[in-house]
Structure 1
Amino acid sequence: MTFDVERPADVFDREQEWWALSRFATSDSPGATLGFVSGRRRQGKTVLLQALCEATGGFYYEALQAEPAESLRHLGAALARYQQRPGRLALDDWDEALEVLLGLSDDEPAPVVIDEFPYLVESAPDLPSRLQAMLGPRTRSRVASRARLVLCGSALAMMGRLLTADAPLRGRSSLLLTVDSFNFRTAAAFWGIEDPELAFRVYSVLGGTPAYAREFVDHDLPTSSVEFDDWVARAVLAPTSPLLHEGDSLLVAEPSIEARNPAVYHSVLGSLVAGRTRHGEIAAYLGHRNSDLGPVLSVLEEAGFVTRDDDVVRRRRPAYRIADPYLRFHYAVARPRRDRLRRPDGARQVWRDQQETYRAQVLGPTFEEMARTWVRHFAAPERLGGEVSEVGRTVVNDRSARRSYEVDVVAIGPAADNGRRELRVLGEAKVGQRLGHSALGKLGRVRELLTEQFDTTRTRLAVLRRGLRGRAAAARRPDRSRPALHRRTMTAAHAGGDRTRSLPSMHG
């Protein structure tokens, strides 16, 4: 049995996250329970957890990056304030601290939150094992408690290691919640920007991190496309802007990177925005051996800075991309020109000079990912020709023409009774380019090349374009002499892939 906890008015969106947290916090299950909350910094985890504790009378504690003795003193002071005692509660060790935390709720379920838990594990590596012992199935500390213990952290690699197969707390939790960045739709609503073009541009700079639109720019957002360039110069690229330095700060705040050589991680992210997305390409670009970069890419992936995208057609050919639009902007535009940005009026000059870099390395990749997100999460199945089980990108070789084709959006359906999977959509997604007959011809040729591997009888060809001063548009080929491109309806995405329209009698 659970109880609904009203979401506070100042918590924007996050309905699913709030439901999961309130359900966990009020669960009538016997004994203490354990939950994990993770997510990159600035996503609003602390706001959610503090609001949860305020609404339910729970205990919230944000850990320090400190030695164990200082952390215990700090926790003791927080416990005394919560229990309305004078001074602080003396805690001799972590066993005693965990006993006290689990004992905060013995009658009714209530959340007990430890935020930035990785800070404590850094200085007390045996803490997870001690907690495991406390939460044993028949231990007194667990059976006598109704605490809903939440361990939260922004160090994604370390939080992930707490749940690996051989980790002490593996299998002990009943909540695993990740707080992600807002998608484009939610971010635009959060900013209050209704103009699709302006929202797309702002998203390409800030991404969907809530704090970047509030504290980091002091609530200063452009109100029209005319203001956008001035806003980037004054709020993002100015030497005094926190956003100019945030990218580097995020990297060194990840313990698994800080303990190594951060320079190589910065270089790898720089190579990704330059278009070197495969393991071998990155190694060659940086002058490293392939074997040297494997651990670096793994850490960046575990920490949430990059994502590994497998080619959905040609398996075992993964490509890496920066996971966040803000980081993409940082490494493409801001970080390489930090010296110039410190000069008088440097922000305006750099921004004016880097428009082509911004279009090619920031706007283009951002829109491609938004198009895949739209197909994956927002497009109705009937617009795609049926259910979709996999969405991604691919590179297809054309041996007869001695060339290869890159396809930005590929949607594949589940296997049919005959074992063949249906190729639902092949799509081209571009910003500021006119896409017409040549783009559709390329997609038609790719469809022919994939006929043996997939069922392509109902494959739809989609051309998605984000105009720099207008809505996204879809190309149309009126020439009926090419019947292979004229079977069914093609779907186009508007406003960065969030609204749709069907264009009848188009290239299917």
Structure 2
Amino acid sequence: MSSSDAAAHPDRPDRMFDRETEWDRLLRFVCDTRPGATLGLVSGQRRHGKTYLLEAMTKATGGFYFDGQAAAEAESLRRVADRLAEHTHAPQPPRWHSWEGAVDAMLALGDEGPASVVIDNFPDLVGQSPALPAVIHSAYRRLHTARSQNRARLILSGGIPSIVTRLFSGPSSLHDLAGLELVVRPFDFRTAARFWGIEDPRLAVQVHAVVGGTPAYRGDFVCDDAPAGPDDFDAWVCRTALNPRMPLFWEARHLDEEADHADRALCHSALVAIASGCSTRGEIAECVEGSLNDVSHVLAMMQNRHLLHGEPDAFRAGLTHYRIAEPLLAFEHAVAWPHRVALEQEDVAAVWRRARAGFDATVAAPHFAQLCRDWVVGCAAPDTFGGAPESAVRGTVHDPARHTRLDVDVAVRGMTDGRPGVLLSVGLARWNETMDTRHLDHLRHILSVLAASGEDTGQALPACYSATGFTPELRAAEAKGEVLLVGVDRLYGGE
């Protein structure tokens, strides 16, 4: 598409925060003037702003938007007919008995020029009309043969990306027709801080540990209530996430509804285990006192539905560490769930005072470590680690001399001198601990154990990540190039 075409695109709405990249990709797709009907696939977890983005796009381009629902096929056909008649100013809506007529009518909007057509919540429609993907595929084949000048820009929008991928696969694969595949993701931690209007980086970590980067949570879920400052965080948690009168208090219960009913109890127990600090299959199975096979099944299912992230251990092949993908879900199982009855019957502030230490240990601390790993991959400058970071994950090292396990919070691998996968750094992350030279000595010991096991540590830089700071002695070691120090200020504003 030419630059002049791009310049003619409608501006992003002033009230839309961020999403410049997603807006640009959508507009380039729907405003493409080249002949030929095209298809776009948009996915994203609930509450991440997918529907808001698509509604704004169709309004800006004069397009047609239809929100699918889990309803009988006849009802859905009546709804889309009513919406289409309203859109085209027809005297009365058509009456279809199958999706073939409805799909043809929506695509016909592109006969006179580029026309954006959005079917949101598409998987809900397919649940009642399994043949719908094949109907759309056939309609496109007919268009490309009989009306090659048609410029319908149909966007099918769904929820969980992995489910959308499976839905659009098969004999009549819609992936083969797609000219756009867009995943609407939550805000990264820096963007989330700006979205909430938080300038203090330690406060930003705490808020992100509760609500993550989900944009919807600031509006209807907490009525735009953001912490006034670091001293307001405790009161804010009591007003919002732990307040039974707030929608946010109940939201986490809906996040794992994708789980099969028969597995729901085990899913819940596994989430509680992970929220308490268990991260491997064996640790989780031992905590829930379940079989490794059953636990592996629910972990795979929850990972497939994006409730969990599974990441390989940096040093032990075949070992996977699991973490809860949505911060609010982790907060629910670590803090809110264990105190659910008390929160509904007692003073919330008193309950939070009892739960506060647990929040720091099982929610804020591991969340801070994850943000440090995210910073390495997404924010660190290319020369920070002496090579381009490709991954930053947890790692476990067996110390044969001391018969102990050594944990690495941030193990960085990357490319240097043309060699992929080189160990660039090992790091420790501490949430409520000022770090000193003892931490550096511990990292040096870890590197010596790794070197003795055959790991190439020649390029590896020790790194300390702290949310409270570093001693003068450790700062002096940094000045000598012996260690990399990353505090919350650098996490949110530096490279």
**Which TM bucket (shorter chain)?**
over 0.9
Q: Distance between the aligned counterparts of 1:188 and 1:313, measured in 2?
A: 33
**Aligned partner of 1:264: which letter?**
L
- Tell me the CA shift for residue 328 of structure 1: 1.2
**1:293 is matched with which residue?**
295
Within-5 A mapping of 1:38-437: 38-136=43-141, 139-140=144-145, 143-164=148-169, 168-252=173-257, 254=258, 257=259, 260-345=262-347, 347-414=348-415, 416=417, 421-437=421-437
Aligned mates of 1:175, 1:297 — CA distance in 2: 31
Question: 2 CA distance for matches of 1:112 and 1:138?
Answer: 15
Deviations 1:95-132 (A, max 9, x none): 11111111111132222111111110111112112222
Q: Distance in 2 between matches of 1:229 and 1:494?
A: 19
Task: Give the TM-score normalised by the residue count of structure 2.
Answer: 0.92
CA contact (8 A) 1:421 1:454 kept: no
> How far off its partner does 1:162 sit?
2.1
The one-letter amino acid paired with 2:297 is P
Q: Which amino acid counterpart does residue 402 of structure 2 have in structure 1?
A: A
- Asked if 2 retains the 8 angstrom alpha-carbon contact of 1:465 and 1:473, the reply is yes
Superposition TM-score, scaled by structure 1 size: 0.90
Contact 2:209 2:363 in 1 (8 A): yes
- One-letter identity of the residue aligned with 2:95: A
Structure 2 gap segments, 5+ residues each: none
Deviates more, 1:257-266 or 1:207-216: 257-266
Give the aligned partner of residue 3 of structure 1. Answer: 6
2:438 aligned partner: 438
Identify if the C-alpha distance between structure 1 residues 384 and 202 changes in structure 2 by more than 3 Å, giving closer, same or farther.
same
Partners of 1:80 and 1:225 lie apart in 2 by 53
CA 81–362 in structure 1, closer or farther in 2 if over 3 Å, else same: same
Say if 1:383 and 1:491, in contact at 8 Å, map to a contact too: no
Question: Are positions 1:498 and 2:489 aligned together?
Answer: no
Contact 1:80 1:88 in 2 (8 A): yes
Distance (whole Å) between structure 1 residues aligned to residue 36 and residue 297 of structure 2? 40
- Confirm or deny: 8 A CA contact 2:39 2:153 kept in the other structure: yes
Partner SS, residue 413 of structure 1: strand
Residues 120-167 of structure 1, C-alpha deviation per residue, up to 9 Å, x if partnerless? 011111211222222238744773531111111224442131245767
How far did 1:223 drift? 0.6
Counterpart residue type for residue 358 of structure 2: T
- Give yes or no for contact 1:102–1:142 (8 Å, CA) kept in 2: no
* AA partner of residue 351 (structure 2): V
Q: Distance in 2 between matches of 1:475 and 1:38?
A: 48
User: In proportion to residue count, which structure has more helix?
Assistant: 2
CA distance in 1, matches of 2:442, 2:67: 54
Q: Report Cα offsets for 1:145-192 as digits up to 9, x if no partner.
A: 311111112244421312457673232212111111111111111111
Work out the CA distance in 1 between the residues paired with 2:137 and 2:471: 56
* Distance of 1:420 and 1:429 partners within structure 2: 25
RMSD, matched Cα: 2.4
User: More displaced, 380-389 or 367-376?
Assistant: 380-389
Cα distance in 2 for residues equivalent to 1:421 and 1:81: 57
CA deviation digits over 1:69-106, x for unaligned, max 9?
11111111111111122443322211111111111111
